[in-house]
Amino acid sequence: MRDLRGIVTAVLLFISPVLCAESTSPRVVDAKADRIMERACEQLKSAPAFSVTADISYDDVLESGLKVQYQRYSEVVLDRPNHLRVDGESDKGTRTILYDGKTFTVFDPDENMYVQAPAPDTIDATLDKLEERGVSVPLDDLMSSEPCAWLHEGILDGFYGGRHYLDGSFAHHLLFRAAAADFQVWIRGGEVPVIRRVIIEYREKLGVPRYEARLSDWNFRPAIETGEFSFTPPEGASRIEFRAANNVGEGDRP
């Protein structure tokens, strides 16, 4: 019995630091930043539908080290649980991404080509599938059912920066830090808190490229037209396939 007690004590002595270490969370987010961010996310989560426009700029770091900033304009219409439309125009062309609950379509009007594939039955899973295919959906985390998941999973610290001037009014300015990136989020308060601006700085990437989105025209009761989420190929449009992942092409090199 004494031996057993000794063994138990030794085991406890061994694992207690580990247990204590596990329970010690490194996440340090001040309560106000947490609360404001959560409120904005809650607004997104609880909205059965919304539309928003995003003015986006992002950096490409060329192989020479030069940084180039591109622009993109996106209009997002989301209708939960399984409808999504993103129309985008950017330096790299025009794209429309459609999800009607059964299939998703990526259409390039410039080339008059589209790709279509069966889709899962939720927006989250479809966003994951698009991501797997390399299709970039701007700020897709805002469209997921857990917009603030990142706040609890990857954030190391965060704090409330104050009410700062943004586009003619003041907004809550929140700052977060993850292991590989820093985030700044501006949230307009009030009864319907909305995210107005997001900056992501990938400090671990070469050249520290930055992504910035200004979100406007938030509408939580959007007028959704019939067929808004379904795709009807324009005349002469060609349906093509995704290229297999093992076929390495231009631009896929470091």
User: Per CB under 8 A, which of residues 198..227 are in contact with another protein?
Assistant: 198, 200, 202, 204-206, 209, 211, 213
Beta bridge partners of 155: 178
Q: Smallest distance from the beta carbon of 125 to another protein, in angstroms?
A: 13
Q: Smallest distance from the beta carbon of 81 to another protein, in angstroms?
A: 20
What token pair was written down for 86? 């993103």
What token pair was written down for 56? 């986006």
What token pair was written down for 173? 């300015």
Backbone Cα Rg of the chain: 22
Choosing from 1, 17, 232, 235, the residue that interacts with another protein (CB under 8 A) is 17
Which one, 225 or 241, has the nearer CB to another protein?
Answer: 241
Residues 164-203 that bind another protein (CB under 8 A): 178-181, 183, 198, 200, 202
CA distance 195 to 122: 23
Q: How many CB atoms lie within 10 A of CB 135?
A: 17
User: Per-residue DSSP letters for 86-99?
Assistant: EEEEETTEEEEEEE
Query: Which of 85, 79, 88, 78 is closest to 55 using CA atoms?
Result: 88
Q: What does the per-residue mask of binding to another protein show for 96-125, with x meaning CB under 8 A?
A: -x--------x-x--x-x-x----------
Judged by CB under 8 A, does residue 158 bind another protein?
no
Q: By CB under 8 A, how many residues form the interface with another protein? A: 74
CA distance 98 to 107: 8
Q: Smallest distance from the beta carbon of 225 to another protein, in angstroms?
A: 23
Choosing from 47, 135, 166, 224, the residue that interacts with another protein (CB under 8 A) is 135
Which one, 171 or 200, has the nearer CB to another protein?
Answer: 200
Choosing from 1, 4, 21, 31, the residue that interacts with another protein (CB under 8 A) is 21
CA distance 46 to 64: 45
